[in-house]
Amino acid sequence: MNKSPRRRFLRQSALAAASFFIVPRHVIGRGYTAPSDLFGLGFIGTGKQARGLLNQFKKQPVRILTGADADSRKLALFQSLAEKAYKETASTQPATGGFKARADFREILADPSVDGVVIAMPDHWHAWAAVRAAEAGKHIYLEKPLTRTVAEGRAVVKAVDKHKVVLQTGSMQRSWKNFRTACELVRNGYIGDVKEVLVHVGDPAIPCDLGEEPKPSTLDWEAWVGPAAFHSFHSELSPPVEKDVFPNWRKYREYAGGILSDWGAHMFDIAQWGLGMDDSGPVSFNPPSDPKAVRGLEMTYANGVVMRHAEFGKGFGVRFIGTKGRIDIARNYFDSDPANIATATLQAGETRLYTSDDHYADWLNACKNGTKPICHAEVGHRSNSVCALANIAYQLRRPLTWNPRKERFKGDREANSLLLPHYRGDWKL
């Protein structure tokens, strides 16, 4: 009898006992860091985003020990880069046995030398992998957006809390000074009372309408699809390794939340931070009247502040509008009207926000100290919820009333059904 896709993926494999040789500091000598002092890191997903994260984490006191991917060519490239990083840091961070390439990421979770994992898989895998990692006692750096659906996000928060692991969401703009300064100015009333926020990001998700292409022999497509709705292979979903682009699975509802979520996990996150809404969110969602519009959604908070998914002529970013002025903030601009607001100096006694100048070091420090990092699970979940709820509003094209405490829509069964992940077969979170 044929096994289901989930059972095939979850079949028990014989795992060799993982060895971890601890080298005493006095044996290594002055100027070296003992492997036992380094944070053992595994990468789950080794594509383009993971390669960028490798460049960040190799600067930290970590050993990148292992990685897993459904595409063996992407995994091989990542391995070569990780091994190159070993050589670059050999004078201060001696090798601990080399990099282990794995096809099944559960082997990483079973490896006692791995202290934490970087999850850089497509969005539809985020929740499933993060919950399993938490259950295995691994700390988690989870790429943004936290999950694809609201219910998945809450499941991740609960798993992290239950198993007492540290999760950092990859919304790294919170660790950039200009974004923090802008939010501090907003919080301290430098633009007066906030009335409106404009967030310019991309389009909401669409159903996957791609055709079928021949599948490469080096890609395990069942493992790539995992719990998501099955779609035949197409290179737009998983491009070959030599095509150095961010894959377009981000556009499709089955696997992600469109560019609205992909960039919204950055920009709506900053809007939430500036408004002091890290434990809440909007209470109503009103889509534009044009059924084809991909901008214009209006979201209102309980305090009356209106947030709009709208362009304001400067590229992706956030505009805070208050009774005394406005602040515009993005990666490539930070200005205000009047101009002196953006250059103002906070005074003693005014509200200061969590300071992180390195998103990756901040996570590692939180893991070491047992504290919460700047973009912990609840923060990532609430910011991602704005994106997921916005996608639902665009999909249904009707006004929706949301209860941020209960995390339910009022009187709308169809909308509430879209809060849940719809996994195929017998996959369960």
Q: Residue 82: name the closest of 68, 354, 426 by CA.
A: 68
pLDDT in the model for residue 30: 38
CA distance 40 to 31: 20
Same domain, 144 and 221: no
- 159 lies in the same domain as 235: no
Domain membership of residue 143 (yes or no) is: yes
139 bridge partner residues: 116
Coil, strand or helix at 417: helix
Does residue 13 fall inside a structural domain? no
Question: 């979850």: which residue's tokens?
Answer: 10
Q: What is the pLDDT at residue 87?
A: 80
Question: How many Å apart are CA 37 and CA 58, to the nearest integer?
Answer: 15
- Which single residue is written with the structure tokens 């999909």? 395
The DSSP string of 325-350 is: -EEEE-SS-EEEESGGGTT--PPTTS
**What is the dihedral angle through the alpha carbons of 223, 18, 241, 58, rounded to the nearest 10 degrees?**
130
- Note the helical H segments in 295-423: 359-369, 377-396, 413-417
Same domain membership, residue 408 and residue 277: yes
**CATH number of the domain bearing residue 35:** 3.40.50.720
Among the candidates 255, 288, 320, a domain finishes at 255
Judgement on whether residues 134 and 225 belong to the same structural domain of the protein: no
What are 122's two structure tokens?
């497509």
Domain match, 74 and 101 both: yes
CATH number at residue 380: 3.30.360.10
- Look at residue 37 in the predicted model and tell me its pLDDT: 72
User: Residue 47's pLDDT is what?
Assistant: 97
347-352 contact pairs (CB < 8 A, 24+): 350/184, 350/188, 351/184, 351/187, 351/188, 352/184
Please report the pLDDT score of residue 86 as a whole number: 78
Q: How many domains does the chain divide into?
A: 3
Q: Do 248 and 363 fall within a single domain?
A: no
Which residues lie closer than 8 Å to 102 by C-beta, 6 or more apart?
66, 67, 68, 108
Of the residues 224, 255, 286, which one is the last residue of a structural domain? 255
pLDDT at site 88: 75
Q: Is 353 helix (H, G, I), strand (E, B) or coil?
A: coil
Does 218 fall in a domain? Answer: yes
How far is residue 413's CA from residue 403's CA, in Å, rounded to a whole number? 14
**Is residue 80 within a helix (H) or strand (E), and if so which, with residue range?**
helix 72-88
Q: Does one domain contain both 329 and 274?
A: yes
Please give the chain's pLDDT, 429 residues, in tens.
445 656 655 553 333 333 323 233 333 333 444 555 789 999 999 999 999 999 999 999 999 999 999 999 999 999 999 999 878 765 455 445 589 999 899 999 999 999 999 999 999 999 999 999 999 999 999 999 999 999 999 999 999 999 999 999 999 999 999 999 999 999 999 999 999 999 999 999 999 999 999 999 999 999 999 999 999 999 999 999 999 999 999 999 999 999 999 999 999 999 999 999 999 999 999 999 999 999 999 999 999 999 999 999 999 999 999 999 999 999 999 999 999 999 999 999 999 999 999 999 999 999 999 999 999 999 999 999 999 999 999 999 999 999 999 999 999 999 999 999 999 998 999
Considering the domain architecture, whether residues 399 and 266 belong to the same structural domain is answered as yes
Domain that holds residue 353: 174-205+257-417
Is there a domain that residue 138 lies in? yes
Report the alpha-carbon distance of residue 416 to residue 184 in Å, rounded. 35
Last residue of some domain: 239, 255, 271? Answer: 255
Query: Does residue 113 lie in a domain region?
Result: yes
Same domain assignment for residues 281 and 409: yes
DSSP lists the bridge partners of residue 325 as none
Residue 273 placed within a domain: yes
Is 393 within a domain? yes
Asked if 306 and 160 sit in the same domain, the reply is no
**Stated pTM of the model:** 0.92
Residue 6, pLDDT score: 63
Residue 145, preceding bond cis, omega within 30 degrees?
Answer: yes
Are the beta carbons of 156 and 318 closer than 8 angstroms? Answer: no
Whether 346 is in a domain gets the answer yes
Co-location of 156 and 33 in the same domain: yes
pLDDT of res. 81: 95
Are residues 200 and 338 located together in one domain of the fold? yes
